[in-house]
Structure 1
Amino acid sequence: MIIIVVLLLVSLLVLILWTYCQLNKGICKFSGHLVGKVVIITGANTGIGFETAKDLAQRGALVIAACRNVEKGKSAVNQIIKLSRNSDVHFMQLDLASFASIKKFVEGVMGMVSRVDILINNAGIYTSTNDKTEDGFLIGMQVNYLGPFLLTSLLLPLLRASAPSRIVNVSSMLYRFGDINFDNFENMSRFNSFTVYSTAKLFTMLMTIELDRQLQGSRVTVNCLHPGIVSTNIINNINIKIIKIVLKFFKSFYKNSWEGAQTTIYLSVSPDVEYKSGCYFKDCRVANVTPKAQNLVAARNLWDISEKLVKIK
């Protein structure tokens, strides 16, 4: 009898938690158009990126889908064109694991468009190996942080010239587990995959607040977000057994890709955040962050170090 009561109580608590999660999923309710606007979104061929690109294309924007895989990228663009009925959606190859590819991509963008209104740094990777890129950095650190840093830095002139414009950085609540020590930036092989990923997401948070400081008065806003726990390939690649078990247990609580894209879309289009910058969002609302993600000195130091590492100065 006691066991039955306990099981019923646990079931009730799970039901209450599930209901709470469903009711608190943020949804972008703004339906305005983006005709005449140019959007760049990385990782647009799958998951959150695909749903975001599709939504912004449906609003009439010229969308540049920046993807590493040519075949998958072109296929996604064809799907988006068909679903959105907007033929102004374009594939451009971009490999964030290659600084040369990023520079080539930016040159291509500048030759194609004269403005960029919205830059969405969406692409991310969770890898179980500590492989290094051609530039000498751990692939998880370069794709999740250094690559987007270089891409954003190189596109800043266009974003400034197109103001009011927006930069949206997809981070993760896992930033809380990141390491803020920059001394061994180039020697992170001692870190496990989880720490590399969470540190890269923490660096994304710090990049956001430092860039916000630099952009004061420019009418270019920059914000970051946690999309929620979304059923994507990143979750499938996690190799820490206990985390995988927990994630599998709560699978029914996950957001689908459309739900996971809502905060990104909100930050890209909503007039509610036209003047909001340097903030961290979750479920289309400003969320609290830990002190290390608000460390202005660390953010400035990280920016200076990052500029040297990607060799833009």
Structure 2
Amino acid sequence: MNNKLCVITGANSGIGFETAKALAQKGAYLVMVCRNEDKAEAARQEIIEETSNPGIDIVLCDFAIQAEIRKAATEIKKNYEKIDVLINNHGFLASEQEQTVDGLEKTFAVNHIGYFMFTNLLLDLIKAADQGRIISVASEAHRAGEFDPENIQLNENFSPWKAYGNSKLFNILFTKELADQLVDTSVTANCLHPGVVASNFAQSGSWIMRMLFTIGKPFFISPKKGAATSIYLATSDELEEVNGAYFRNKKVATPSKTARNKEAAAELWDMSKKLCSV
């Protein structure tokens, strides 16, 4: 990983932070894409102190806002000629139904359109690498999701957990369709379940979700363990030819039947393009 450029979203806390730190330890140059500048700078300094690797840049982006996603991608394209690894790691769990400034349901916007839009805007830089990798953090929560083209943003029957499960399903469908489109390139796209991680992730969720996460926290894995599969997908030489797979515990796993539906993946892709004009 020495001198390879790794772009990681949501890199200032949780598994994103642990992934960034591990890659810095291996000599990678990092671009941490974060929403909060103060938290990002604090994380950057901590990684530098622990790894003695000063090669870390910060790009600010709120993935709920499409204009900010475009701005962040433009900044990266202006400063770098290629990206060796893109890790879509940021995530959001709603406490209630909320629309973004672009008129999208927020969980859908952040967790799915954020991955879709950012990846597509940076794709030329990833293709410029000798062997580019796109890694998207999904979840076993996708098994609670469904693909309903008539209710893609849960305008009907919304619940925070349903919106989250749908978004994680969409991460896998996005990866499947992207991988198919990348077959004749030097780029691969894979996704993963990180495990149920003891982090502050659920603090934005409903009081029920916060309570469940608080009660269950002693049984969850650490962010460091949760980052293990992301790190493996970013660094392992044996994965150079692996494309379109879903990983759990650093092994290929079988996602839900819906997540393997090629027609659903293609339809979601077309719908997503229209919603963000990519």
- Fold shared by both chains (TM-score > 0.5): yes
The answer to whether 1:166 aligns with 2:107 is: no
Alpha-carbon distance in 1 for matches of 2:229, 2:154: 34
Aligned to 2:271: 305
CA RMSD, 1 decimal: 1.6
Deviations 1:253-293 (A, max 9, x none): 31101000000000000112111111110111111211101
Aligned to 2:24: 57
Change (3 A) 1:246 1:96: closer
Larger Rg: 1
Aligned to 1:259: 225
Between Structure 1 and Structure 2, how many residues are aligned?
278
Alpha-carbon distance in 2 for matches of 1:290, 1:190: 22
Aligned to 1:87: 54
Alpha-carbon distance in 2 for matches of 1:311, 1:186: 17
Alpha-carbon distance in 2 for matches of 1:119, 1:161: 13
Alpha-carbon distance in 1 for matches of 2:19, 2:4: 15
Q: Is the 8 A contact 1:266 1:284 kept in 2?
A: yes
Q: Is the 8 A contact 1:138 1:189 kept in 2?
A: no
The answer to whether 1:198 aligns with 2:165 is: yes
Identity %: 38
- In the TM superposition, residue 240 of structure 1 has moved relative to its aligned partner by 6.8
Q: Is the 8 A contact 2:154 2:163 kept in 1?
A: no
Q: Is the 8 A contact 2:136 2:190 kept in 1?
A: yes
Change (3 A) 1:202 1:37: same
Q: Is the 8 A contact 1:43 1:122 kept in 2?
A: yes
The answer to whether 1:224 aligns with 2:209 is: no
Structure 1: tracts of 5 or more residues without a match: 1-33
TM-score normalised to the size of structure 1? 0.85
Q: Is the 8 A contact 2:86 2:135 kept in 1?
A: yes
Structure 2: tracts of 5 or more residues without a match: none
- In the TM superposition, residue 223 of structure 1 has moved relative to its aligned partner by 0.6
Change (3 A) 1:190 1:103: same
Alpha-carbon distance in 2 for matches of 1:187, 1:141: 9
Report the AA paired with residue 156 of structure 1.
L
TM-score normalised to the size of structure 2? 0.95
Alpha-carbon distance in 2 for matches of 1:105, 1:181: 31
Aligned to 2:9: 42
